[in-house]
């Protein structure tokens, strides 16, 4: 059975869990990282010398780095579908996965930490406004790209949509003012129709640090 080590509310783990669900894989989420610990054990160190999440073990094969794991799972269990067979289409999917990490993730996650992960009386409105503007400016690049096609790699959902889809949920569900990005919004609406996205990405993450931590504790209690 596939093992996924990580936290279900972690921005880097969510794409991996979503991918496994999209593929219909039989997997076990092993709670690790943050308050769950487990990263300093000899067992985990053998799988990932960086002692970071996410990490997977697929039989005797261990792998780390979120986007690499998504690529591996799609290539191994969905060749020609989530992992496009056409080499150029696959390269486009790869390109936008890399762009998600290099450009889109940082301003969105900084905006997320400046709001949800900061106590309300400690938030700096001007900082939040600036970060929201930076996130929207980056996503305007995706807006132009999606004017030509419904998904990042073409007409069909692929692995290229997965990391960006996880970022998009954070972006659209933080309490900030956002400009209209109709193509991104239409793409996001299609993702919201996918059962695996609903189950593993569209999690209420709270509005403050206490709610966030309570939700993570609830996952542990439920064995999620």
Walk me through the domains of the chain, giving residue ranges and CATH numbers.
2-77 (3.40.30.10), 87-193 (1.20.1050.10)
pTM higher than the cut 0.85: yes
**181 within 8 A of 119, measured Cβ to Cβ:** no
What is the predicted pLDDT for the residue at 1? Answer: 92
Q: What does the pLDDT look like over 176-219, one tens digit per residue?
A: 999 999 999 999 999 999 999 999 999 999 999 999 888 877 87
Report the pLDDT value the prediction gives residue 215, as an integer from 0 to 100.
86
Residue 223: pLDDT over 70: no
d(CA 71, CA 87): 14
What was the pLDDT predicted at 221? 59
pLDDT confidence tier of residue 49, bands split at 50, 70 and 90? very high
| Predicted pLDDT at 122 | 96
pLDDT at residue 212, rounded to an integer: 86
Q: Residue 151's beta-bridge partner residues? A: 154
Residue-level pLDDT at 217: 77
Integer angstrom CA distances of residue 210 from 80, 114, 116, 117, 119: 43, 14, 9, 9, 8
pLDDT at 150 over 80: yes
- The pLDDT tens digits of the residues spanning 75-88 come to 999 999 999 999 99
Mean pLDDT across 110-132: 96
Helix axes 125-145, 161-172, angle to 10 degrees: 140
Determine the Cα–Cα distance for residues 73 and 82; give it in Å rounded to an integer: 9
């Amino acid at each position: 059975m596939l093992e996924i080590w990580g936290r279900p509310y972690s921005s880097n783990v969510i794409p991996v869990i979503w991918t496994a669900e999209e593929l219909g894989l039989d997997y076990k989420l092993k709670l690790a990282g943050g308050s769950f610990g487990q990263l300093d054990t000899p067992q985990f160190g053998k799988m990932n010398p960086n002692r970071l999440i996410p990490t997977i073990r697929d039989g005797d094969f261990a792998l780390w780095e979120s986007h690499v794991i998504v690529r591996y799972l799609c290539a191994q269990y969905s060749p020609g579908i989530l992992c496009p067979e056409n080499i150029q289409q696959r390269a486009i999917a790869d390109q936008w996965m890399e762009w998600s990490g290099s450009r889109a993730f940082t301003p969105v996650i900084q905006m997320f930490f400046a709001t949800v992960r900061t106590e309300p009386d400690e938030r700096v409105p001007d900082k939040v406004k600036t970060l929201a503007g930076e996130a929207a400016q980056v996503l305007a690049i995706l807006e132009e790209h999606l004017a030509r096609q419904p998904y990042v790699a073409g007409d069909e959902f692929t692995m290229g949509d997965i990391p960006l889809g996880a970022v998009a949920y954070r972006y659209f569900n933080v309490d900030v003012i956002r400009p209209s990005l109709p193509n991104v919004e239409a793409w996001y609406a299609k993702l919201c129709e996918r059962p695996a996205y609903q189950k593993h990405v569209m999690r209420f993450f709270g509005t403050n640090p206490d709610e966030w931590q309570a939700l993570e504790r609830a996952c542990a209690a439920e064995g999620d």
